[in-house]
Structure 1
Amino acid sequence: MFGLELAPQELLLAFCIVMFGALSQGVAGFGLALLIGPLLVMVDPMFLPGPVVLLVSLVCALMVFKERSAVNVTNVKRTLVGYLLGTGLAAALLTSLPARETALLLGGLILVAVGISAAGLSVPPNRRVLFSAGIIGGFMGTISGVGLPPLALALQNEPGPRLRGTLACVGLLSIIMAEIALVSIGKIGRDEVLLACILAPAVVIGFLLSTLITRHIDSRFTRPLIFLLSGISAVTSIIKHF
C-alpha cells in the first residue's frame, strides 16, 4: 500500500497506536514517544527510528504553539549544546547498528525513560545538570524519539506551563537535530517520510481529542497508566527481538 511493504490492517493498527499516544501526550504532557516506539516496532521495524522521530516532531510543534508564551529561553539555551552532542553520538552508533539491536536498544531506552520519569528524584537545574541532561536526552531522542525525560527530571519543580513550554521547545529543536542526523546517515528517506505523513493525521486527531477531555481526567491516574503501558510494551519488544 502506497508503495510500502505494509498491509492495510497494519497501517490501521499503527494509526490507532499513534492516535492513542497523541491523546496521552495532550492529557498528561507526555506519552507519545514512550508509547508508540515499542508498539510500532512490533508492527514493523521500518517504523524505527525515522517515522517515530518525525511524528514526535509534529506533536512537539503542536505543544510549542499551545505553550509558546511560557518557554524559559535561558534553560532552552543551556541544554541545546548537550542535545547536539548526544544526537551526534547516537547517529554514529546507528550507522552500524542492525535492526534487531536497534529494537533492543529502543526497548531498553524506553525502560530507562520510564524509570527516570517515575523516580521523582530531585536534582538542581543548574548549567551542568542541564548540559548533561541534554547529552543523555539527545542520545535517547535520536534513537527512540524519547529525549525529554532527563530534562523533565531537572525541571520538575518549574511551574506547569513553563515546564510544558520549555520541554516542548527543547523537544522540537532536539528532534529537528535528530532528523538532520538521521537524514545524513540514510535512516530517513522517502519511505519514512511517506509513512509519517500517512500517520500524521492520527497525531492531530489524538491531540485535538485531548483538549476536549483533559478537564475530565485526573493526571494522577493517567501518568501511572502511561508508565505501566510503556513499560509493558518495551519489555514485550525486547522479548520479541531477543
Structure 2
Amino acid sequence: MYIPQLGRVAIGNDSSVPLRRAYPVVAVGFASGWPSHNIGIVAIDISYPVLVLVSGVVCLGAMLQGSIGFGLGTFSVPILLLLEPLFVPGPMLLVAFFLTLMLLRRERASVAFREVSWGIAGRALGSAVVGVVFLYMASEWMPPLVAVLVLVALGIMASGWKLPITRVSLLGVGFMSGVLGTAASIGGPPLAMLYMHSKGGRVRGTLSGIFVAGTLFSVAALVVSGKFGLREVYLTGLLMPGVLLGFLLSRRTARIADNGYLRPAIIVVSALAAVLSLIRYL
C-alpha cells in the first residue's frame, strides 16, 4: 500500500489515499477521494519543493520559446533530468505541443505556411533516417558529432553569412533539425539559425508551425510504443501552470527580443544546446 507523506504530491490509485493530500490538478474529476477501481496509474511521489523548482524551470523555458521561437526543451530538459526524470520525455513533449499551438495562434498573422510544409517534410525525413541508422549502427557517436556541426554552423552564421530561405534550404535545414532532434534532442537550433535574420513574429510563428507537427508525431510514437499513458497525462498537468505563466510573460519579453536582441539570443541558446549535448555524451 502506498501512503504519501504530508507535504508531498501524490498520484495513485489507492482508495486509502486522502484526497486532501493530493495536488489539486490531479484531483480534478474526483469529488470524494480516489476511485476505488483500478485504472492502472502508477503511484508517484514528488516533493513540493521539487515541483516548485520544476515549475520555475519550465516557466523560464516557455518564456524563452515564446520570445525567440524555440528553447523550452533546450533549456528545461537537462535540468529536469536532474530534478525529476519522470517529466522527460512524454510530459515535456506534450506541454511543448500545447505551447507551440498557443504560439502559432498568437503569431498566426506572421506564419509562412508554405515554408512550414517544407520544413515539416525535411524534419520528418531526418527523423526517419536517424531511426533507420539507429537500427543498424551504434548511435553513441551521433549526438556529439551533430553538436559539433551545430557549433560550426553557428560560427559561420555569426560571421554574417546569410542562408537564403528557399525550398532547398528548408528541406536541408529541416532534415538536420530532424536528425538533431531525434539523436540529441536539440532540433530547434538549425531552423532558428535559418530564420535568425527574419522578423520576430515570422520566426516564432513559422517555427511553431513546424514544431507543432514534430511534437505531435513524437507524442504519437510514445503512445504507440506504450511509453505514454495516464501517468504522463497527470504529469503534464503539473507542468502546465508553469508553461502557461511563461507563455504569458513572453508577450513582454518577445517585444524586447524584437528590438535587436533576437539574433544574439538565437546564437547563444543554440550554442548552449550544442555544448550541453556534448557534455551529456562525452
The verdict on a shared fold, with TM-score over 0.5 as the criterion, is yes
Aligned equivalent of 1:179, options 207, 219, 224: 219
Give the Å deviation of 1:184: 1.9
TM-score normalised according to structure 1 size:
0.77
Contact kept in structure 1, 2:63 and 2:253, CA below 8 Å: no
Contact kept in structure 2, 1:81 and 1:131, CA below 8 Å: yes
Indicate the larger mover: 57-66 or 209-218. 209-218
Contact kept in structure 1, 2:178 and 2:187, CA below 8 Å: yes
1:51 is the counterpart of 2:91: yes
In the alignment, structure 2 segments of 5+ residues that lack a partner are 1-9, 12-42
In the alignment, structure 1 segments of 5+ residues that lack a partner are none
CA offset digits 1:147-168 (Å, max 9, x no partner): 2322222333333322221111
- Going by fraction, where is helix more abundant, 1 or 2? 1
Structure 1 pair 233–83 and aligned structure 2 pair: CA distance change class (3 A):
closer
Give the Å deviation of 1:72: 1.0
1:23 is the counterpart of 2:63: yes
Distance in structure 1 (CA, Å) of the matches to 2:251 and 2:154:
23
Paired AA for residue 61 in structure 1: L
Give the Å deviation of 1:83: 2.0
Distance in structure 2 (CA, Å) of the matches to 1:188 and 1:95:
22
Query: In the alignment, what sits opposite 2:163?
Result: 123
Contact kept in structure 2, 1:137 and 1:151, CA below 8 Å: yes
Matched length: 235
Give the Å deviation of 1:110: 7.0
SS of corresponding position for 2:198: coil
Distance in structure 2 (CA, Å) of the matches to 1:112 and 1:33:
19
Greater Rg over alpha carbons, structure: 2
Structure 1 pair 143–8 and aligned structure 2 pair: CA distance change class (3 A):
farther
CA RMSD of aligned residues (A): 3.6
Give the Å deviation of 1:193: 2.2
Indicate the larger mover: 184-193 or 224-233. 224-233
1:82 is the counterpart of 2:103: no
Distance in structure 2 (CA, Å) of the matches to 1:170 and 1:76:
5
Distance in structure 1 (CA, Å) of the matches to 2:181 and 2:51:
24
Distance in structure 2 (CA, Å) of the matches to 1:72 and 1:122:
19
Structure 1 pair 80–213 and aligned structure 2 pair: CA distance change class (3 A):
closer
Contact kept in structure 1, 2:69 and 2:203, CA below 8 Å: no
Query: In the alignment, what sits opposite 2:199?
Result: 159
Distance in structure 2 (CA, Å) of the matches to 1:7 and 1:93:
40
Contact kept in structure 1, 2:150 and 2:271, CA below 8 Å: no
Distance in structure 1 (CA, Å) of the matches to 2:260 and 2:219:
31
Give the Å deviation of 1:179: 1.5
CA offset digits 1:79-121 (Å, max 9, x no partner): 222222233345667899xxxx99x987987786677567525
Give the Å deviation of 1:178: 1.7
TM alignment of 1:1-242, pairs within 5 A: 1-2=10-11, 3-89=43-129, 116=153, 120=157, 121-142=161-182, 146-215=186-255, 220=261, 223=265, 226=269, 234=277, 238=280
Distance in structure 1 (CA, Å) of the matches to 2:95 and 2:135:
21
Structure 1 pair 42–219 and aligned structure 2 pair: CA distance change class (3 A):
farther
Contact kept in structure 2, 1:86 and 1:136, CA below 8 Å: yes
Give the Å deviation of 1:36: 0.4
